[in-house]
Amino acid sequence: MQTAFQRYIGIDYSGAGTPETRLPGLRVFMSESAPEPICEPQEIRPDPNHPKHNWTRSELAHWLISILSEGPRTFLGIDHGLSFPMEYFNQYQLTGDWISFLKDFNSHWPTDKAGTSVEDIRRGIIGSGKNRQGDSKWRRLCEKRSSAKSVFHFDVPGSVAKSTHAGLPWILKLKQLLGDRLHCWPMEGWDATESAHTLVEGYPSLVSKNYPKENRTPDQHDAYALSRWFQELDANGKLHPLLRPDLTREDLNTASNEGWIFGI
């Protein structure tokens, strides 16, 4: 079967430290389409000359920009939120498109700046994000339909709040530099264009138990599971149906702003 994509990347993200901090929780696995239905994902490290080095968020963003600027069509998933609940948009009177939201967020939460951490902004040491925060009771529709925690639920096990607040400025950078070569689903449309790479919000808990963990760390296994799942879905013709979840028109409109977890 002809696959829609040729490359599949799973990213287990981390919001710890600063953009220059090497993070053991930041892991990347990649697989490619192949004649066989299973293509074993391989871990990608930032420097082949230093195989024990972990990624920094800055390195990862620039690597993604480089490989997505050319090369085979790629489907990639990252395990942090790509947008916020409607309560946030209403609270701060954000009426523009998704890119406008990202720019507004980045102006208050400059977590892509050298030496800047999410915790520094939360404490009011850097930026104005302390006065522009959400409420952990605000949940996106996809979070209400799953066990996922709110993107504002900090300081609890399994939270994606810190990684979301650390990662969104880098998503903006990807869009600014890649433009139409990168389709961010579903904020830029529920149907992925035939020529663009596609970025989705991944939720490793959906699939990580489907694969033997072997000798991988939990973070490695989450990234591995996303990459392998994407590849298998595409090989079996089941990827595109998941890009169009069974939602009412009203819920589709809501999720177009809030984002959606792929596979929910």
At residue 35, the pLDDT reads 64
Mean pLDDT over 87-107 rounds to 95
Closest residue by Cα to residue 16 from 159, 167, 117: 117
CB atoms within 10 A of CB 130: 15
CA distances from 71 to 11, 63, 227, 240 (A): 19, 13, 17, 21
Residue with tokens 């939270």: 159
- Mean pLDDT for the stretch of residues 42-61: 93
Average pLDDT, the chain: 94
Return d(Cα 44, Cα 21) in angstroms, integer.
Answer: 17
Please state whether the predicted TM-score (pTM) of the whole model is above 0.85. yes
> Among residues 29, 55, 60, 57, which one has the least CA distance to residue 229?
29
Domain ranges for the chain, please list them.
7-258
Residue 38 has pLDDT above 80, yes or no: no
pLDDT the model gives residue 252 = 97
